[in-house]
């Protein structure tokens, strides 16, 4: 480890958002290029950098900074250099020279203790003198704060976030309740705050720690799809996390409820504990649904006559259930349409659209993801947007700093008569709440989805709860139409959904099973299928063929599979830049997926000449793209998503990206691929269930190939028990209907 002193001559590159920079450091011996986190440090500063030399393939020898300490300039020359470097706004080289010529080595003391004397210098008014002094004080405070935070192992980037949030109050916050940071600063979770608290010496049984830990447990349960936890389960999980007595947890639950951070709801069989935000969103959804659920007084026979006319116009013949779906949409403020593949959902949607068109009503279509919206557009001929785009996502956050901000809401509702949402099984409670807020009274809401698909990645099971409430008209399409019966993907999907065994073999044209009971053999055949067999068969490129697996971990989990698939689909090449991030190597040409919603991430669309023609914010969990370029000098990586959206990531943001040659079936919801390959060879029972298998095979448009064990496939069909979700929307709807 090297320790080098010098002054920052200039910044070659600097990223304002995370503090990463490349500087040229002047020392007595040589000029050194240094890379690292330089947040809060300005040009002209004297610094001591501790780090190690690395050899960059393009840019040569660099000092990679591990820690940076700002040194106070001690002589007139160093002071002049610091002031001339632009550290103080309004002080350039000429003025810096005059200040130091006047006060010499006493310059900094004068600026800090007697700033009014700066007015003695030509060109500096009393007002400007005080502004200079204020800036000096601010920079001094910032340096002191950064040094203080570094003692607790806090990185420069995080230190800047803390200083920007609290200013000089940060000392008080850290000494009294560092857990505030978990609530108030993006990127500081419970575990990070807990690390800092331990170094500061906060007791493990601190009520602040217990409060933060309880909220953390509920936040983690939301990632599992729950909107609440039973009190007993919450207490158990919190005890394990915090290593304190259960009585201490139980004692603090009422206090959190009084602070309005928790809602504790007593039912007949249990006590449910919610994060307050989630409870009130469920409550509001139930109320808004009740307000929208109005029935028109249109004559049933008149509506049926209109439907008959639409059949003739579109040259289609609707079955009784499809006609009923159009009828319910016409008569009710809210209606629900559900059905599996091949049951005529698209035809029904088109008939509903045509019905409202003939009535002169404005219609908008939307779906939860870009892929689902694109499929809806192709199927209907009408433009479909993502729900985020429909609600006009703003890159900034709502007042609580935790939610996306939408321009469309109760104050500026959507201007339309009919809203049709597809793939409703993917919509979580947060997005549903945002959608309902933007729907004006009198607007028709048609919700379409397959209730047998996996529930949303986010908390809740909105579609299932709506159907089970029996509070809204629901049409379940079950008949498989003749044209769909030629597809074994469709036929087998329905058999799986009904719990019936499927024929496993190679006689089908679009559904294949290859019995392989050895992991290495599965790897070999998977590569052969993706690189040689399937591209010709389905007329697609290898990266368009998707491997789907139930698991993240294990020999057939996404983490292992992605490493293997990358090696063969996009092997190392001297002409392809790459960057190693933890255990993952990102390489130009790699297929990647965004794994968290980032409402502030900027994107742009460029034309043939590489000129921007559109831009916006927001990249979402499940979005897939290809790595276009990696710039190791600037530490950036550019991904091109569907619709030619380009997003630049700094290396510090790469925890938001994963290789996507293989993805979990959960992550594939709402997507379709030319061909799907599914390795299935044992695994945890809770992951290997009917829902998962059904969802996986219905992601394929032209071909499904299962590699693995017949016993595993049959066990999945028989295992109806999907992981239970704790959700309260159903109860809130029933309460609203009962006027509770």
The pLDDT, as a whole number, for residue 17 is: 63
Banded model confidence at residue 740, pLDDT cuts 50, 70, 90: low
pLDDT of residue 214: 95
Q: Is the pTM of this model over 0.85?
A: no
Q: Is the pLDDT of residue 400 over 60?
A: no
User: Tokens standing for 202?
Assistant: 């906060």
Is the pLDDT at 590 greater than 90? The verdict is: yes
The predicted model gives 551-558 an average pLDDT of 93
Report the C-alpha gap between 623 and 620 in whole angstroms. 6
pLDDT digits (tens, 9 = 90+) for 34-56: 998 787 677 777 888 999 998 87
Measure the CA angle with vertex 428, ends 427 and 433; round to 5°. Answer: 95
The pLDDT value recorded for residue 87 is 66
At 700 the pLDDT is: 94
Residue 354: pLDDT over 60: yes
Please state, in angstroms and rounded to a whole number, the distance separating the CA atoms of residues 8 and 28.
13
Strand arrangement, sheet containing 700-708? 511-515, 700-708, 673-680, 546-549, 662-664
Q: Cα torsion at 569, 575, 581, 586 (round to 10°)?
A: -30
> Residue 587: pLDDT above 90?
yes
pLDDT at position 219 over 80: yes
Q: Above 80 in pLDDT, residue 485?
A: no
What is the per-residue pLDDT for 9? 82
Q: Phi/psi of residue 400, each to 5°?
A: -75, -5
Distance CA 281, CA 277 (A): 6
> CA–CA distance from 453 to each of 223, 473, 662, 665, 694 (Å)?
18, 20, 19, 10, 7
In angstroms, the CA 356 to CA 422 distance is 17
Predicted local distance difference test score (pLDDT) of residue 396: 63
Q: Is the Cα dihedral 267, 270, 276, 278 positive or negative?
A: negative
Determine the Cα–Cα distance for residues 227 and 279; give it in Å rounded to an integer.
8
Residue 357 has pLDDT above 90, yes or no: yes
Residues of the chain above pLDDT 70, percent:
96
CA distances for 72 relative to 10, 145, 308, angstroms:
18, 15, 85
The more confidently predicted of residues 34 and 597 is 34
pLDDT in tens, 156-192: 667 778 888 888 888 888 888 989 888 888 778 888 8
Please state the rounded mean pLDDT for residues 278-290.
Answer: 96
What DSSP string runs through 287-312?
Answer: HHHHHH--B----HHHHHHHHHHHHH
- Tell me what the mean pLDDT of segment 498-514 comes to: 89
Instruction: Give the CA dihedral 220, 224, 226, 228, nearest 10 degrees.
Output: -20
pLDDT of residue 425: 94
**Alpha helix segments (H runs only) across 179-319:** 180-184, 190-200, 207-223, 231-242, 246-258, 276-292, 300-314
Least confident of 217-221, 533-537, 616-620: 616-620
Q: Is the pLDDT of residue 282 over 90?
A: yes
Which pLDDT band, with edges at 50, 70 and 90, does 399 fall under? low
- The token pair at 243 is 């290593």
Average pLDDT over residues 653-668: 93
Span 61-102, pLDDT tens digits: 899 988 887 777 767 877 777 777 666 777 888 888 888 888
Would you state the pLDDT for residue 403?
A: 64
User: Is residue 482 pLDDT above 70, yes or no?
Assistant: no
Per-residue pLDDT, averaged over 512-522, amounts to 93
What the block records as the tokens of 162 is 């803390």
Q: Are 679 and 716 in contact (CB under 8 A)?
A: no
10-19, 430-439, 593-602: least confidently modelled range:
10-19
pLDDT band at residue 223, thresholds of 50, 70 and 90?
A: confident
Taken in order 84, 15, 645, 562, is the CA torsion positive or negative? positive
């Amino acid at each position: 480890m090297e320790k080098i002193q010098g002054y920052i001559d200039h910044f070659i590159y600097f990223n304002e958002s995370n503090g990463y920079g490349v500087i040229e450091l002047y020392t007595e011996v040589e000029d050194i290029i240094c890379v690292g986190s330089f947040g809060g440090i300005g040009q002209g500063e004297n610094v001591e950098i501790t780090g190690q030399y690395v050899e960059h393939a393009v840019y040569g020898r660099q000092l990679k900074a591990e820690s940076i300490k700002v040194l106070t300039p001690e002589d007139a020359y160093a002071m002049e250099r610091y002031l001339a470097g632009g550290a103080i706004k309004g002080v350039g080289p000429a003025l810096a020279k005059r200040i130091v010529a006047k006060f010499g080595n006493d310059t900094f003391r004068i600026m800090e203790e007697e700033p009014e004397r700066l007015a003695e210098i030509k060109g500096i008014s009393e007002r400007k003198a005080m502004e200079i002094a204020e800036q000096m004080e601010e920079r001094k405070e910032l340096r002191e704060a950064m040094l203080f935070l570094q003692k607790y192992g806090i990185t420069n980037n995080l230190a800047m976030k803390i200083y920007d949030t609290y200013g000089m109050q940060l000392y008080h916050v850290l000494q009294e309740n560092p857990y505030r940071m978990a609530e108030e600063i993006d990127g500081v979770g419970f575990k990070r705050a807990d690390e800092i608290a331990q170094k500061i010496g906060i007791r493990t049984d601190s009520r602040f720690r217990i409060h933060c830990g309880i909220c953390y447990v509920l936040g983690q349960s939301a990632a599992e799809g729950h909107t609440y936890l039973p009190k007993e389960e919450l207490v158990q999980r919190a005890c394990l996390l915090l290593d304190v007595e259960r009585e201490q947890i139980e004692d603090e639950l009422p206090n959190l409820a009084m602070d309005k951070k928790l809602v504790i709801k007593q039912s007949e069989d249990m006590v449910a504990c919610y994060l307050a935000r989630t409870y009130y969103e469920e409550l509001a959804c139930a109320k808004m649904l009740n307000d929208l659920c109005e029935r028109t007084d249109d004559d049933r026979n008149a509506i049926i006559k209109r439907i008959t006319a639409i059949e003739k116009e579109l040259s289609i013949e609707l079955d009784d259930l499809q006609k009923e779906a159009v009828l319910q949409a016409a008569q009710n403020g809210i209606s629900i349409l559900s059905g599996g593949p091949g049951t005529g959902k698209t035809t029904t949607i088109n008939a509903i659209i045509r019905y409202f068109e003939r009535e002169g009503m404005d219609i908008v279509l939307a779906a939860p993801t870009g892929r689902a919206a694109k499929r809806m557009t192709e199927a209907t001929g009408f433009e479909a947007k993502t729900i985020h785009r429909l609600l006009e996502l703003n890159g900034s956050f709502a007042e609580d700093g935790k939610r996306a901000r939408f321009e469309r809401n109760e104050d500026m509702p959507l201007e339309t008569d009919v809203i049709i949402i597809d793939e409703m099984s993917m919509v979580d409670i947060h997005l549903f709440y945002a959608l309902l807020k933007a729907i004006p009274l009198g607007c028709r809401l048609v919700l379409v989805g397959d209730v047998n698909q996996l529930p949303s990645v986010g908390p809740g099971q909105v579609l299932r709860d709506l159907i089970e409430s029996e509070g809204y008209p629901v049409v379940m399409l079950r008949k498989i139409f003749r044209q769909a019966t030629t597809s074994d993907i469709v036929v087998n999907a329905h058999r799986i959904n009904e719990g019936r065994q499927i024929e496993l073999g190679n006689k089908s044209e679009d559904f294949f099973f290859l019995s392989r009971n050895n992991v290495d053999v599965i790897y070999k055949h998977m590569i052969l299928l993706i690189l040689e067999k399937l591209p010709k068969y389905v007329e697609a490129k290898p990266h368009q063929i998707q491997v789907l697996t139930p698991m993240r971990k294990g020999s057939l989990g996404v983490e292992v599979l992605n490493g293997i698939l990358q090696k063969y689909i996009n092997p190392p090449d001297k002409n392809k830049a790459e960057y190693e991030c933890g255990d993952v190597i990102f390489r130009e040409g790699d297929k990647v997926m965004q794994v968290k919603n980032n409402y502030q991430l900027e994107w742009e669309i460029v034309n043939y000449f590489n000129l921007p023609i559109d831009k916006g914010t927001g990249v979402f969990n499940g979005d897939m793209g290809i790595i276009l370029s990696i710039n190791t000098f600037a530490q950036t990586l550019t991904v091109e998503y569907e619709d030619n959206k380009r997003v630049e990531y700094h290396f510090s943001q790469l925890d938001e990206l994963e290789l996507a040659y293989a993805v979990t079936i959960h992550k594939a919801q709402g997507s379709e691929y030319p061909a799907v390959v599914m390795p299935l060879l044992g695994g945890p029972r809770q992951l290997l269930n009917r829902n998962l298998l059904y969802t996986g095979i219905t992601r394929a448009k032209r071909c499904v190939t299962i590699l693995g064990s017949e016993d595993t496939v049959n066990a999945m069909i028989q295992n109806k028990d999907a992981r239970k979700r704790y959700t309260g929307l159903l109860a809130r709807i029933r309460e609203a209907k009962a006027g509770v």
